Amino acid sequence: MESLLVAWFSRFGLVSEVMLQQTQVARVIPRYLAWLERWPTVEALAATSCGDVIRAWQGLGYNRRALALHRAARRVATGGWPADLTELEGVGAYTAAAIRNFAFREPVLPVDVNVARVLRRTGVDFSPEAAQALMDLGATVCLARIPRCDACPLAAACPSRGVREEPARKQGAFEGSFRQRRARVLRIVGEAPRPAAALDGRVVRALERDGLVTVNDGIVTLPA
């Protein structure tokens, strides 16, 4: 029973952590729930086609993450969880640490940008058990530009109380961007195969390089 629970939690942890990469929680939650309803096990996800995975992912952005998650599921379904989770495609050091902490309950502290800010400002070496609290604190209270020190439970002993930082440079607007053009073409091709000549050629070439579409005899389709 314990091994089944570990597999269940680790599977869901992988999906949530990959979806949350560069995507807001509010956008992820409904898609995450729909994803798990459709593919409740690693084996179910591994057995589906790349095209179905890409269609289900659309709207979350950075669609290469869908392919990475699909390939990771196939790796786990055939060979189990690797000792080094970064061997899974799409899993970097932070995502691996988050899965190890939240899914496997290992004493590892995942450090994202919010946690790093709290650690830097307080100078405290927090234990891995505080991971979720640190993430919430950094996301809602210990903000970069306008920290809410009056609401912070650590403010009394914080050497950086009241310090403001310049926020990280934000990505350019989606409207009118190449990212929007990619999303539009991928959505169109997801509905039905299309002649390459009828689509944005530069976008098609970029999507093909990323493995998100295939082009055969001038027809663009999602991968099988």
What residues are labeled active site? 17
- 146 backbone dihedrals φ, ψ, rounded to 5°: -130, 80
- How many whole angstroms separate alpha carbon 126 and alpha carbon 111? 11
User: Count of CB atoms within 10 A of residue 135's CB?
Assistant: 18
- How many whole angstroms separate alpha carbon 120 and alpha carbon 62? 29
- 40 backbone dihedrals φ, ψ, rounded to 5°: -75, -10
| Host H or E run for residue 219 | strand 219-221
- How many whole angstroms separate alpha carbon 66 and alpha carbon 60? 9
For the chain, how big is the Rg over CA atoms in Å?
20
- Reduced to 3 states, what is the DSSP secondary structure of residue 222? coil
- How many whole angstroms separate alpha carbon 64 and alpha carbon 132? 27
In the chain, count H helices and then E strands. Answer: 10, 3
Residue type, 61: G
> How many CA atoms are closer than 13 Å to the CA of 13, on its beta-carbon side?
21
